Structure 1
Amino acid sequence: MRHSDKVLATMESSQSAARSRIAASWRRSMERHGLDPATQDIPVLETASELSERQERAGLLRSAATSQLDHLFSLVGSSGCTVVLTDTDGVILDQRCSDADAPYFASWGLQAGANWSEHREGTNGIGTCLVEERHLIVHRDQHFMAKNTAMSCIDSPIYGANGELVGALDVSSARADQTEGFNKLISATVAQTARQIEAETFRSTFSKDRIVIAGESKNEQNALVAVNGDDVIVGATRAARKLFGWKLSGTVTPVAATDLFVGEGTHQGFERGEKAALVKAITRAGGNMSEAAKALGIGRATLYRRMKRLGLARDGH
């Protein structure tokens, strides 16, 4: 059965969308966006000036993502994958791929300036990730367009410093032998990298404030809050907002850090989080207190005062 016929047959089933998120996306692609699964056109490309404007608007995101994109590509590039960063419209802002693979990805429309939104390309890793705001894998014939069924895409949404959706991180492969099992191995790394980009974006946005890890478990390591010099929380990552039951995006309602963490031993938990942040910064700086203070966005004298209050010795232990 041709892929386009498979899509049409799925759409004729009244229960398909209720059983499968992929089928629900296929239905959106056809009924809401008016797309044809047999279309052969490659994605629309932005002009050089349009792409430059988008890249400039996403300057903070791109800056925070640069080293993470490089690291992720170093892990998956040798297996024929490309690493892609997009904005919220699904337009590719940055890409990492080998010189040998670049022409192949370009022929499929995976290149800077290409628009991979769901309303343009139907069900695909980038576009569907942005619509549904969830980590996902779209493997080969799960794509809406028949022309895209040679690819596997692994994606994770990226949230900004104020919890708002700012883009997507994508790893795509057109290898015929790429299995769903291999996709799952890559998937965890893509999700982790997206969270690291969020943390870097958050730290850059609140560089003048103290950054504290609010969560205590491994799954809450990205639950970061920004505390100003008056001990008031002025920012929180998406993970921290979920942890405290706050609205998921927008400006944080100012709250005293000590008030937030008082009760049921959580004040001690806050101090443990602050202590962990100081120890990590000092360790990463190799014991250089000036560098550690700079990384934390505070002065060296302030660092020493906080170390004393938390019972840390001069070596950070």
Structure 2
Amino acid sequence: MQRKTSHAGKVFEVTVSASAAARSQIAASWHRSVLKYGLDPDDHRPPEVIEQAALSERLEANETFMMIAAPRLDTLYSLVGQSGCAVLLSDADGVVLDQRISAADKPVFDRWGLRRGADWSEQREGTNGIGTCLTESRRVIIHQDEHFYARNTGMSCIDAPIFGAQGQIMAALDVSSARVDQTEAFNRLIAAQVAQTARAIEEANFRAAFGTARIVVADCDDTGSATLLAIDDHDLIIGATREARRAFGLAATGPLTPRPARDMLGREDGPTGFERAEKAAVVRALARADGNVSQAARQLGVGRATLYRRMKRLGLHES
């Protein structure tokens, strides 16, 4: 039998432990990689890169989403690129669709397989930033030897999931570094920015999906999650982000059955403060319009009569 590397030996030792997977999320992912996907941590094959035709199909299917994400990827890269990091965006299957990498660093990342069209799903690459983020639907930091494959232990990957307008997971936002001196403390600093960027992309995508609706925003302790509701001209809730669905006990994914907003948001002491947020949005719109209700209604994307009804319900007067 081929002699395993020390990293591979550690992976197999953890995998056979009856309790390790319950104690550690990394160990749970290693466990899946070996027992569910049948992977070998000593396998040195490069990541699979899908054919150009297949990549083009994925790019076309995600065209609108990628246009929304692009300027936010640029902003994130402007913050982390000078430190030798790459910014990548995958689809829900873990295939890299877009990237921001300096010309000087590109050969290094190409050798790692961090490139457009590469499949970084957990099923293919074991424990890694993109794949494990998508599998567990959560933010992750996979630092160097926390990766499953021994060939990937020189990397640090910081990821956040992005959920679609119907609550489904649709992408992973990744910042990767191949610097040997990358520290866990630095990873945590990057993680905060990755989470903020993922939230900005998710919010922008949700607003685009419900472009004719009024969007109500709630305060949220989780800065990496967007908590938004889409309400139509009939005061019906027709859409909710993943976090809003969780907060209100709605179906996790799929189209929502329209329901009156007042039935869910009517209490001033509601758990997420949506009514207070709605009142603040109306007050801001009226202030920007110098009290002109018609102009404020246009800003909010609703009819003048609808805004009058909102104002009456919220206890606001035209003056």
1:73–1:295 distance in 2 versus 1, CA, 3 Å:
farther
CA RMSD of aligned residues (A): 3.0
Matched, 1:59 2:102: no
Matched, 1:11 2:1: no
Q: State the distance in 2 between where 1:239 and 1:292 align.
A: 28
Q: State the distance in 1 between where 2:169 and 2:129 align.
A: 16
Aligned to 1:155: 159
Over the matched positions of the two proteins, sequence identity in percent amounts to: 52
- Does 123-132 or 62-71 show the bigger shift? 62-71
Matched, 1:38 2:57: no
SS of residue paired to 2:162: strand
Aligned to 2:190: 186
The answer to whether the Cα contact below 8 Å between 1:307 and 1:313 also exists between their aligned partners in 2 is no
1:284–1:15 distance in 2 versus 1, CA, 3 Å:
farther
Q: State the distance in 1 between where 2:98 and 2:296 align.
A: 31
Q: What is the Cα deviation at residue 222 of structure 1?
A: 2.4
The answer to whether the Cα contact below 8 Å between 1:258 and 1:267 also exists between their aligned partners in 2 is no
The answer to whether the Cα contact below 8 Å between 2:46 and 2:113 also exists between their aligned partners in 1 is yes
Matched, 1:93 2:97: yes
Q: 2:203 aligns with which of 199, 205, 219?
A: 199
Q: What is the Cα deviation at residue 44 of structure 1?
A: 0.8
Q: State the distance in 2 between where 1:289 and 1:97 align.
A: 48
Unaligned runs of 5+ in 1: none
Q: State the distance in 2 between where 1:149 and 1:191 align.
A: 23
Instruction: Encode CA deviations 1:115-144: one digit per residue, 9 max, x unaligned.
Output: 000111111011111111111110000001
SS of residue paired to 2:251: coil
The answer to whether the Cα contact below 8 Å between 2:233 and 2:306 also exists between their aligned partners in 1 is no
SS of residue paired to 2:166: coil
1:165–1:282 distance in 2 versus 1, CA, 3 Å:
farther
Q: State the distance in 2 between where 1:176 and 1:31 align.
A: 30
The answer to whether the Cα contact below 8 Å between 1:207 and 1:296 also exists between their aligned partners in 2 is no
The answer to whether the Cα contact below 8 Å between 2:219 and 2:272 also exists between their aligned partners in 1 is no
Unaligned runs of 5+ in 2: none
Matched, 1:71 2:75: yes
Aligned to 2:85: 81
Q: What is the Cα deviation at residue 306 of structure 1?
A: 7.5
SS of residue paired to 2:188: helix
The normalised TM-score by structure 1 is 0.88
Q: 1:240 aligns with which of 241, 244, 249?
A: 244
Matched, 1:25 2:33: no
Q: State the distance in 2 between where 1:109 and 1:268 align.
A: 42
SS of residue paired to 2:14: helix
Give 1:171's aligned amino acid. Answer: V
Aligned to 1:113: 117
Instruction: Encode CA deviations 1:263-317: one digit per residue, 9 max, x unaligned.
Output: 35449944421233356678999x9999987774446x57975796564889xxx
Q: State the distance in 2 between where 1:32 and 1:164 align.
A: 23
Give 1:157's aligned amino acid. Answer: P
The normalised TM-score by structure 2 is 0.87
Aligned to 1:137: 141
The answer to whether the Cα contact below 8 Å between 1:138 and 1:153 also exists between their aligned partners in 2 is yes
Q: State the distance in 2 between where 1:267 and 1:153 align.
A: 35
Q: What is the Cα deviation at residue 18 of structure 1?
A: 2.0
Aligned to 2:168: 164
Q: What is the Cα deviation at residue 9 of structure 1?
A: 2.2
Aligned to 1:276: 280
SS of residue paired to 2:207: helix
